[in-house]
C-alpha cells in the first residue's frame, strides 16, 4: 500500500514538469514568429473598391390630411318660457344672408311640429316660393328678421295668388318683416293671407311693397296687396303693424277682409296699425262673396294715409265697410285717423248693418268725377248705421263734383264738420238723420239737406252762398219729417232766390212735415228769399207744421196752382 502511493507521486511530478515545459516552448515559438513578421512585412494587397450606394431620393413629405369639420352642434339656446318644443330656422339649414334660398328651411321649421319657431335677429331670408303654415299651434318669433321675394320668385312654377299662407289655427306671428324686392311682376299678388283658420294674431309686423316692383313704362292693370283675410277666418287680431303699398297699380289694397267662398268669417280686431297706399283701390276693403257672412269687425286706433298715384287710376274709395249687396254685420270703425282722396267716397258702408263710425279724424279730398262724391255712402234703408263724434274736414278741390257729407240712411250726430269746397248736391242726402252737429261750409252750397228724415239741434254756418236749405224733390214719405231746434247762419248773400224748404213733387202719404223752433239768420238782401215752395203730389189733405221759427229774411211763400186746400198748415 505504501509502495503504491510513492509511485503515484513520482508519476504526478513528472507529468506536471512536462506540462510546464510544453507551455514555455509554445510561448517562445509565438514570440519568434512575431519578431520575424516585424522584420519582413508581407506586401499589402490592393483592396477591391466597393460600389458606392446611390444618394437616396428623399421621400416627399406627406400632405397633411385636412382637419375634418365637425358637424355643427346647434348652439345652446336659452329656453323660451311657456314653449315645449322650440325650433330655430338656422338649425334647419336657413342661411339668413339674403343670398341663399331659405324657402325650404323656413317651411320645414314652420311645419316641424314645434310650438315656437325663432328667426335670427335682423337676418334677411331670400325665398323663391310660397311660405305655407299648415301646422297649428305655432308662435313665430321674427326678431325683426326680413323675408323677401325678388325676381327669382316662382321662376319655374305657375302663378299663385298669395305668398305667405296661413292655413292653420292658433298661430301667433311677432316682429316679422315681409318685403317685395322684385323689379317686375312675379308669381303672386298678395303678400300675406289667412284661409280657413281661427285664432290668428299678427303683432308688430311690417308688410312692404315699394314702387320699384313695377318698372317704368309697364302697364298698371295689375294687383298688388299687403294682406288678405280671404275666407273662413275667425278670431283674428292684427295690431301694431305697418302696411306700405306703393305699387301704384289699378288694383290693390293695404288690407282686405272678405269671405269670397262664403265659409263664414267673424271677429276681427284691427288696431294700432299704420297704412299707406297709392293704388287705385281702397286702403282697407271689407266685403263678402254674396250674402252677409262676415260679422264683428273692430277697426280702431289706426292711421290710414292715401297717397295720390302717378300712373294708376284715381282712387275710388278710402275705406269700404261693405258694398251694395255685399254687406257685413256689427262693424265698428273708431278712433282712426283717415287721410284720403277718392272719386267716389271716403268711406263706403253699402248694405252693412249695425255699423258705428265714431271718434275718428277724417280729412277727405274729393277727386274729379262726373258722378257725385260723398264722404259716406250707405244704403237707403235703416240698417242702424251711425256716424258719431267725428272730426270731418273736406279739403278744397274746385274741380271735383263734391256732392256732400252723406248719402243714404245714415244717422249723423255730434260731429264737427267743415267743408272747404263747393257742394254740388246736398250736405246730407237720401234719408239722413242729422242731429247735434257743428257744421261749417266755406264753399258755396246747393242744398243743406235733400230728402232727409230728420235734422235736429244742429249749428250750421254758411260762409259761402246757399241756394235751398231743405228740398224733397219727388220724395215719397215713409215716415214723419222733422226739422227742429237748429241754428243756421248765412254770412254771404246770394244773388239768386234762396228758399228755406221745398216740397216739390213730394208725396207725403199722410205723414207730417214739421219745421219748428229754428233760427235762421241771413244778411239783408234785395233778393227775395222764399219761406217755402210747395207743390205736393198728394190728392188728399196733408199736414205741415210751421211753428216757433225765427226766420226774418224768409218772408215769401209760394203754393203752386193755389191748391192750398190740400195743405193743413199748422203755424
In angstroms, the CA 434 to CA 447 distance is: 14
Domain CATH code at residue 444: 2.160.20
Q: Which three cell numbers stand for residue 500?
A: 228755406
pLDDT over 70 (residue 136)? yes
Sign of the C-alpha dihedral computed for residues 137, 142, 146 and 152 taken in this order = negative
> Looking at the domain assignment, is residue 202 inside a domain?
yes
**pLDDT confidence of residue 370:** 78
pLDDT > 90? residue 495: no
Q: What is the mean pLDDT of residues 247-267?
A: 94
Is pLDDT of 132 > 50? yes
Find the helix or strand (DSSP H, E) in which 445 lies: strand 445-450
Residue 140: is its pLDDT beyond 90? Answer: yes
CA-CA distance, 416 to 339, in Å (whole number)?
Answer: 16
How far apart are alpha carbons 385 and 375 in whole angstroms? 14
Phi, psi of 10, rounded to the nearest 5 degrees:
-65, -45
Residue 260 has what pLDDT?
87
- More confident position, 68 or 93: 93
Long-range contacts of 96-104 (CB under 8 A, 24+ apart): 96/120, 96/123, 96/124, 96/125, 96/145, 97/123, 97/124, 98/124, 98/125, 98/126, 98/148, 99/126, 100/126, 101/126, 101/127, 101/128, 101/152, 102/126, 102/127, 103/127, 103/128, 103/129, 103/130, 103/131
Contacts of 223 (CB under 8 A, 6+ apart): 189, 190, 249, 250, 251, 252
Q: Return the number of other C-beta atoms located less than 10 Å from residue 342's C-beta.
A: 26
pLDDT range class, residue 368, cuts 50, 70, 90: confident
Domain membership of residue 271 as a residue range: 89-467
Q: Is the model's pLDDT at 23 over the cut of 90?
A: no
Which residues share a beta bridge with 378?
350
pLDDT of residue 528: 66
**Mean pLDDT of the chain, nearest integer:** 87
For residues 504-528, average pLDDT:
88
If you average pLDDT over residues 234-263, what whole number do you get?
96
Residue 420 in contact with residue 389, Cβ under 8 Å? no
pLDDT at 567: 80
pLDDT of residue 560: 54
pLDDT at 358 over 90: yes
82 CB burial (10 A radius; 0-12, 13-18, 19+): exposed
Mean pLDDT of 275-301: 93
Backbone φ and ψ of 106, nearest 5°: -65, -45
Q: Which of 246, 233, 238, 240 is nearest to 277 (CA)?
A: 246
Q: What is the longest distance spanned by two Cα atoms in the chain?
A: 209
Number of independent structural domains in the chain: 1
Q: For the residues 382-393, what does the mean pLDDT come to?
A: 98
With 50 as the cut, is the pLDDT of residue 11 above it?
A: no
The pLDDT, as a whole number, for residue 13 is: 53
Nearest of 569, 420, 381, 404 to residue 471 by alpha carbon: 404
**Residue of 71 and 559 predicted with greater confidence:** 559
Task: Say what percent of the chain tops pLDDT 70.
Answer: 83
Q: What would the pLDDT profile of 44-80 be if each residue is shown by its tens digit?
A: 444 444 334 344 444 444 445 455 555 456 667 777 8
Q: What angle do CA 480, 481, 484 make, to 5 degrees?
A: 125
226 within domain boundaries: yes
What's the mean pLDDT in 363-382? 92
User: Residue 287 falls within a domain, yes or no?
Assistant: yes
Higher pLDDT, 75 or 31: 75
The string of DSSP letters for 370-395 reads SS-EEEEEE-SS---EEEES-EEEEP
C-alpha cell at 86: 322650440
- Other C-beta atoms within 10 Å of 351: how many? 19
Confidence of residue 531 (pLDDT cuts 50, 70, 90): confident
Could you tell me if residue 508 is inside a domain?
A: no
Stretch among 186-200, 209-223, 340-354, 447-461 having the lowest mean pLDDT: 209-223
Helix (H) or strand (E) holding 103, with range, is: helix 103-110
Question: In 5-79, which ranges are E strands?
Answer: none
pLDDT, average across residues 372-389: 96
In a domain? residue 258: yes
Q: Is residue 570 part of a domain?
A: no
- Predicted local confidence at residue 216, as pLDDT: 83
Closest CA to 571 of 271, 480, 557, 368: 557
Taking the C-alpha atoms of residue 148 and residue 97, their distance in angstroms, rounded to an integer, is 11
Task: Specify burial of residue 219 (Cβ count, 10 A radius: 0-12, 13-18, 19+).
Answer: exposed
Handedness of CA 190, 191, 194, 199 (dihedral sign): negative
| Tens-place pLDDT, residues 404-431 | 999 999 999 999 999 999 999 999 999 8
Alpha-carbon distances of 89 from 86, 173, 203, 297, rounded to whole Å? 10, 15, 20, 34
Q: Which residues contact 563 (CB under 8 A, 6 or more apart)?
A: 535
Residue 34 confidence (pLDDT) above 50? no
Residue 163: closest CA among 142, 178, 141: 178
The answer to whether residue 106 sits within a structural domain is yes
DSSP 147-209: EEE-TTTTTTS---SEEEEE-SSSEEEEEEEEEE--SS--S-SEEEEEES-EEEEEES-EEEE
Contact 530, 554 (CB under 8 A): yes
Strand partners, 438: 416, 459
| Residue 56 maps to a domain | no
Distance CA 514, CA 508 (A): 12
Amino acid at each position: 500500500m505504501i509502495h503504491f502511493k510513492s509511485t503515484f507521486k513520482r508519476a504526478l511530478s513528472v507529468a506536471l514538469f512536462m506540462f510546464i515545459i510544453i507551455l514555455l516552448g509554445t510561448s517562445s515559438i509565438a514570440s519568434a514568429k512575431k519578431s520575424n513578421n516585424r522584420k519582413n512585412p508581407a506586401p499589402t494587397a490592393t483592396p477591391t473598391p466597393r460600389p458606392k450606394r446611390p444618394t437616396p431620393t428623399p421621400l416627399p413629405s406627406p400632405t397633411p390630411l385636412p382637419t375634418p369639420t365637425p358637424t355643427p352642434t346647434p348652439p345652446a339656446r336659452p329656453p323660451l318660457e311657456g314653449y315645449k318644443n322650440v325650433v330655430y330656422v338656422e338649425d334647419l339649414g336657413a342661411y339668413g344672408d339674403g343670398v341663399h334660398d331659405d324657402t325650404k328651411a323656413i317651411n320645414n321649421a314652420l311645419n316641424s311640429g314645434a310650438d315656437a319657431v325663432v328667426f335670427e335677429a335682423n337676418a334677411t331670408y331670400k325665398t323663391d316660393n310660397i311660405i305655407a303654415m299648415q301646422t297649428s299651434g305655432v308662435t313665430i318669433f321674427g326678431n325683426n328678421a326680413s323675408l323677401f321675394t325678388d325676381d327669382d320668385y316662382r321662376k319655374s312654377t305657375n302663378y299663385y295668388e298669395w305668398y305667405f299662407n296661413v292655413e292653420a289655427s292658433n298661430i301667433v306671428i311677432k316682429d316679422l318683416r315681409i318685403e317685395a324686392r322684385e323689379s317686375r311682376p312675379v308669381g303672386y299678388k298678395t303678400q300675406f293671407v289667412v284661409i280657413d283658420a281661427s285664432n290668428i294674431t299678427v303683432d308688430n309686423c311690417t308688410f312692404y311693397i315699394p314702387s320699384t316692383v313695377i318698372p317704368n313704362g309697364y302697364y298698371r292693370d295689375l294687383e298688388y296687396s299687403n294682406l288678405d283675410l280671404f275666407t273662413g277666418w275667425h278670431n283674428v287680431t292684427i295690431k301694431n303693424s305697418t302696411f306700405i303699398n306703393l305699387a301704384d297699380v289699378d288694383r290693390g289694397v293695404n288690407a282686405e277682409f272678405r269671405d269670397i267662398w262664403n265659409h263664414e268669417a267673424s271677429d276681427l280686431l284691427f288696431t294700432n296699425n299704420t297704412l299707406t297706399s297709392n293704388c287705385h283701390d281702397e286702403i282697407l276693403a271689407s266685403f263678402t262673396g254674396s250674402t252677409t257672412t262676415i260679422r264683428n269687425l273692430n277697426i280702431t286706433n289706426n292711421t290710414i294715409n292715401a297717397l295720390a298715384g302717378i300712373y294708376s287710376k284715381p282712387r275710388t274709395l278710402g275705406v269700404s265697410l261693405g258694398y251694395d249687396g255685399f254687406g257685413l254685420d256689427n262693424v265698428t270703425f273708431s278712433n282712426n285717423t283717415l287721410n284720403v282722396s277718392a272719386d267716389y267716397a271716403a268711406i263706403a258702408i253699402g248694405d252693412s248693418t249695425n255699423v258705428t263710425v265714431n271718434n275718428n279724424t277724417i280729412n277727405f279730398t274729393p277727386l274729379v268725377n262726373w258722378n257725385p262724391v260723398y264722404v259716406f255712402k250707405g244704403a237707403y234703408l235703416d240698417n242702424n248705421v251711425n256716424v258719431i263724434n267725428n272730426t270731418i274736414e273736406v279739403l278744397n278741390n274746385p274741380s271735383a263734383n263734391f256732392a256732400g257729407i252723406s248719402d243714404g240712411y245714415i244717422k249723423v250726430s255730434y260731429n264737427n264738420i267743415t267743408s272747404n269746397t263747393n257742394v254740388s248736391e246736398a250736405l246730407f242726402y237720401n234719408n239722413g238723420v242729422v242731429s247735434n252737429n257743428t257744421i261749417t261750409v266755406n264753399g258755396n252750397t246747393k242744398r243743406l239737406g235733400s230728402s232727409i228724415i230728420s235734422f235736429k239741434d244742429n249749428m250750421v254756418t254758411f260762409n259761402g252762398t246757399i241756394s235751398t236749405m231743405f228740398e224733397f224733390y219727388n220724395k215719397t214719405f215713409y215716415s214723419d219729417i222733422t226739422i227742429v231746434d237748429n241754428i243756421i247762419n248765412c254770412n254771404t248773400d246770394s244773388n239768386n232766390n234762396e228758399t228755406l224748404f221745398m216740397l216739390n213733387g213730394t208725396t207725403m202719404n199722410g205723414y207730417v212735415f214739421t219745421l219748428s223752433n229754428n233760427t235762421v239768420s241771413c244778411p239783408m238782401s234785395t233778393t227775395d228769399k222764399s219761406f217755402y215752395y210747395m207743390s205736393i203730389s198728394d190728392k188728399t189733405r196733408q199736414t205741415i207744421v210751421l211753428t216757433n221759427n225765427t226766420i226774418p229774411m224768409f218772408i215769401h211763400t209760394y203754393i203752386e196752382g193755389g191748391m192750398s186746400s190740400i195743405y193743413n198748415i199748422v203755424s
